[in-house]
Each structure stands twice: as structure tokens, then as C-alpha cells.
Amino acid sequence: MRSVVTIIGKDKVGIIANISGLLADKNVNILDINQTVMQEYFTMIMLVDISNLSISLVDLKNELEKIGKEMGLSVRLQREDIFNKMHEL
Amino acid sequence: MINRNNILETIKMIDEQKFDIRTITLGVSLLDCADTSGEKSRMKIYDKVLRYAEKLVPTVETVEKEFGIPIINKRISVTPIALVAGSSNDKDYVEYAKILDIIAKEVGVDFIGGFSALVHKGNSKGDDILIDSIPASLYETNKVCSSVNLASTRAGINMNAVKRVGEIVKETAYLTRHEDSVGCAKFVAFSNAVEDNPFMAGAFHGIGEREVSISVGVSGPGVVKNALEKVKGESFDVVSETIKKTAFKITRAGELMAKEVSKRMDIPFGIMDLSLAPTPAIGDSVAEILEEIGVESCGTHGTTVALAMLNDAVKKGGIMASSHVGGLSGAFIPVSEDQGMIDSVNRGSLSIDKLEAMTCVCSVGLDMIAIPGDTPATTISAIIADECAIGMINNKSTAVRVIPVYGKKVGEIAEFGGLLGHAPVIQLNSYSSKKLINRGGRIPAPVHSFKN
């Protein structure tokens, strides 16, 4: 199964390091990354494979949100199928 | 592959446009819970509903987190209690309402619906007792919702029951007078009630339904309004197409999540209700969509046509998106739950008469309207009868949920709290309908009901 991690907020040092560190620690494989910085605002979308996730999806979501809070970013995790369902026939 | 625009659009819908799933409703049949002993019957109801509903709230909360889209309400609907309690020797069914309330509190759902009777053609013993028990039941419980179906296209209008229900509304208003007659917000009178409606106060699990099912009601007025802001000045062709596409996206999200809940609970998926349901939050308003379409203030001339187009476009988009569409499926126009409607009443542009006209083209009826506390029961019955006529003649569901706010007059504000919102007391026609209502009897089914 795949999920989408979205990080939005003010750019700063260590965003990718912190997020990807946690993902690696929980056995999540990053499949694709799309990132831009527009007027200091950082938007990163990661497509991740959670098939071998070592904790529950909800726990991973909580931990990601915790990092987001500490770094002053909006970090969210959503299952990929919601976007496919909504935007594709 | 990441489609950046799609992902960011979805996030914007949730964060800025208040996109959510309004309700996931678990329907449970209680037909096998009837017993000559009321006490035994209630034990069966308790055991059965709890068995199925135990995991509802935690499952919904997990799915909500995994998909990142809020699910606002968790609800239960049951077989109309009049059908179950009718077998018992009880002389009043308040205890049935109380057991439903206990169940709702134990499993943590927001509402439980089905304290209901279907009397469109006539009343059975159980129906009479249930209707008489409504005021005390709504007074003594918090989470129980009640409904009565008074008319149908096939059967006509049961005017005796219409008369009695007007009195019931008044009694409920009096009993709950210390909370702005909020009891009436949990009761709705129907014409052509549907059996699979997941929305309150009118949800019940119809007798043609399976043992248990999971149904879902989406929301999303804010999303529709936002989409329309991007097509300012364009023709109606463009407007309806835009609404259709938006409704499609919203519906697909709702169905995916409901199916996930259904899979995890091992309970079959029932239907998807496409209704656009507003909340009192700013930007989550059906009235604001109508104003975006082009009326200066909701209720002025042109409101009905805008609503008709909106309702139809929502259905078209939704039908394409879901395998099973049902329930009420259309735009809701509850006054107290929609800040745009409240503002329109306060501005004097939205009247009870215009609301009645609007109910001819949308899915429900006169919903969450505060009326003066001294309104006679016969006037309330007449308001209900008018809506029944609209439903009966037009082959559609219509409903009345009015709150005669005890002690309050036109222009004063009634506070119901939470999703039920607040509403200014609206002006009614002051002339009497007493003679009409006192006739009683049954209005025959219209000629177009003979379709066989």
C-alpha cells in the first residue's frame, strides 16, 4: 500500500532529514519526491510505500505530525487511494 | 507518480473549504427484537445494536486519520420503533427511547435515529403509542431522533396524523422550553420518507433494508462555492458543469471511506447520500452558493431556479461517482445550520413562503426553522400538510422540522448548540388554518399514483 506525505511551511534546515529519518526508521520506502520553494514557502510531497511499515499507519501519522509541530510545519499523511479516487475516473 | 495539483487541491478542500464527510451511519434491523414483553424486547435491542455498533466509532476514527479527511458524525439508525414495540404490551414507549439513548452513549455515536412511525395510510396500535410517546422521549433523552412519515405519493396524506403531529411538536417544545425547545430539532415529519437516509433527524433503517448496513452522507458546500468563484460571470452551462465535477470528487472520497469502514467492520455498504449539507461554520453554507450563482441575498427572486440547478447538478455528478446512491441526495436548506440562511432571514430576504417554494426543487423541506412559540398547533399541522402535498404531488421526499421556540417572538434568536446552530424566529402567516386541520380524515392519493 502507498501513502502520500505532504509538508507545507516555512523553509528551514533539516526538514527532509527529519522526515526521511523517521520514515527510514519505521521501514517506509520513499518512492518519489516532489519539492518546491516559493517565496520562502516550502512544499514537499512524498509518495511512500508503507507495505512493510513497522508501526500502525495512525501511529506513523501521529509521529509525523509531531515532527511537523516541532518544526512549525504542516505535515500530513494520507493514503494514496483518496487522491486517485477523487481525481481520476 | 505524484500529481502535485491533485494532492494540493484536496488538501485545500479540507483546510480552507471545510470539506468533510458529514456522517457515517450504521443501520441495524430490529425486526427480530420484538417481544410481548417490552423489557425483553429492549434487552434484545440493546444486545443486538451493541454487538454491531461496538467497533463503529474506533473504526471510523482510524479511517478518518488514514485518509486525512474529517468524518464529523457517527450515527446509528434502527428499524422504526413502532414496528418493533407494537408487539409488546407496553402502553408507552419512552423506555424504548431511553434504551436507544443508552446505546448511543455507550458506543459514543452522536445520534441514534429510528424512534419512528410510518403512518402515511393509517395508524396501527404501535404507531399511536409511539407518536404519543415522542414529546416525553425527546425530553428524557439527548441523542435519540424521531420521525413520522405522514404521506406518500402512493397513499395520500393521513390528515388525522398530521393534526396529531402538530400537537406533538407543541408538546415537545413545551417540555424542552428551558433549552429553546431543542427537542423539536430532533423530530421531523415526512412525506415520502426514504428508507436509507443517513442524515438526522430523519434517519431510520427501513423494513426493506438488509440486516445491517453502512451508509454515508457527504458534505461540501464550501468546496462547491469555491469552485464557482473561479467561473464568475460564466453561463449556466459552465456553472452546472463545474458543480457536477466538484460533486463527483466529493462523492468519490465519501464512498471510498465508507467502503473502507464497511470492509473493516464486515458490514455491507448501503448507500451514498449526495446531499450538500451545510454547517453553521462560515464558508460552509448552501445559501452562499446560491449567492455566488447570482442572487444578492438568498431568498430573493431567482433563488428557486438557482437551487433547482444546484440540486440537479450535484445529483448528476454524484450518481456518476458512486455505485449506490440513495437517501435524500440533494441540497439541504436548514436555516439554523447555515450561516448564509440565518443572515438572509435577518436581512429580511428569506421568508417562510420562499423556503416552501425552495423545498419544491430540493431534496428535503422546511428544515430547522425557528417559529414563534405561540404558534397554534393547527398552524404547525398546516405547515406540515402543505409540505406533504408538495412531496405527494411531486413524487419526492419532503420534511418539516420547525421549532416553535417557547416564549420567543419574531426576530428573537433561538440557540440550539453545536451542529444544530442558532436561528432567528421567523414570521409566519397569522391567519388560522384550524378549520382545515380539524376536518381530519385522509387526502386521497393523487391521480398520478396509479401507475401500475
Chain segment A33-79, per-residue pLDDT in tens: 999 887 788 899 999 999 999 999 999 999 999 999 999 999 999 99
Angle between helices A57-71 and A15-25 (to 10 degrees): 160
Which chain B residues contact residue A82 at CB under 8 A? 10, 67-69, 253, 256-257
Using an 8 Å CB-CB cutoff, list residues of chain A that contact chain B.
4, 6, 8, 32-34, 43, 45, 47, 57-58, 61, 76-79, 81-83, 85-87
| Gap between the Cα atoms of B62 and B24, Å rounded | 13
- CATH T-level assignment (fold) for domain A2-82: Alpha-Beta Plaits (3.30.70)
Q: What pLDDT is stored for residue B209 in this prediction?
A: 95
Question: Do residue A47 and residue B3 have CB atoms under 8 angstroms apart?
Answer: no
Cβ atoms within 10 A of the Cβ of A13, count?
8
The pLDDT assigned to B275 comes to: 86
Task: Output the pLDDT for position B277.
Answer: 86
Interface residues of B toward A, Cβ cutoff 8 Å, are: 1-4, 6-11, 62, 65-69, 249, 252-253, 255-257
Provide the whole-model pTM: 0.94
Using the Cα atoms of residue B329, residue B359, residue B149 and residue B167 in order, give the sign of their dihedral: positive
- Name the residue in chain A with its Cα closest to that of B320: A89
Distance CA A83, CA B134 (A): 44
Interface A:B, Cβ pairs < 8 A: 63
Nearest residue of chain A to residue B246 (CA atoms): A86
Q: What is the pLDDT of residue B283?
A: 84
φ, ψ for residue B182 (rounded to 5)?
Answer: -60, -20
B69/A86 Cβ within 8 A:
no
Helix (H) or strand (E) holding B306: helix B303-321
Q: What was the pLDDT predicted at B116?
A: 98
CA closest to A78 among chain B residues: B67
Interface test with A, best of B1, B2, B19, B61 (most A CBs within 10 A): B2
Instruction: Extract the C-alpha cell encoding B30.
Output: 430490529
Do the chains contact at B11 and A57, CB–CB below 8 Å?
Answer: no
| pLDDT tens figures, A17-37 | 999 999 999 999 999 999 988
The confidence score (pLDDT) of residue B424 equals 96
∠ CA B327-B328-B331, nearest 5°, is 140
Which pLDDT score is estimated for A77? 96
Ranges of residues in chain B with a pLDDT under 70 are: none
Cβ-based contacts of A85 with chain B (< 8 Å): 252-253, 255-256
Choose among A34, A43, A76: nearest Cβ to B68: A76
End-to-end CA distance of chain B: 54
Decide if B10 and A83 are in contact by the 8 Å CB cutoff.
yes
| B112: helix, strand or coil | strand
In angstroms, the CA B165 to CA B184 distance is: 11
Task: Tell me the chain B residues in contact with residue A78 when contact means C-beta distances shorter than 8 Å.
Answer: 10, 66-69
CA angle, B433 then B436 then B438, to 5°: 105
Contact A87 B3 (CB under 8 A): yes
**pLDDT of the residue at B330:** 78
Report the half-sphere exposure of B230 (CA within 13 A, side-chain side).
9
Do B10 and A86 count as a contact with CB atoms less than 8 A apart?
A: yes
The CATH architecture of the domain made up of B26-191 is Alpha-Beta Barrel (3.20)
Interval B129-172: pLDDT, tens: 999 999 999 999 999 999 999 999 999 999 999 999 999 999 99
For residues A1-17, give the mean pLDDT: 93
User: Which residues from A are below 8 Å from B255, CB to CB?
Assistant: 85
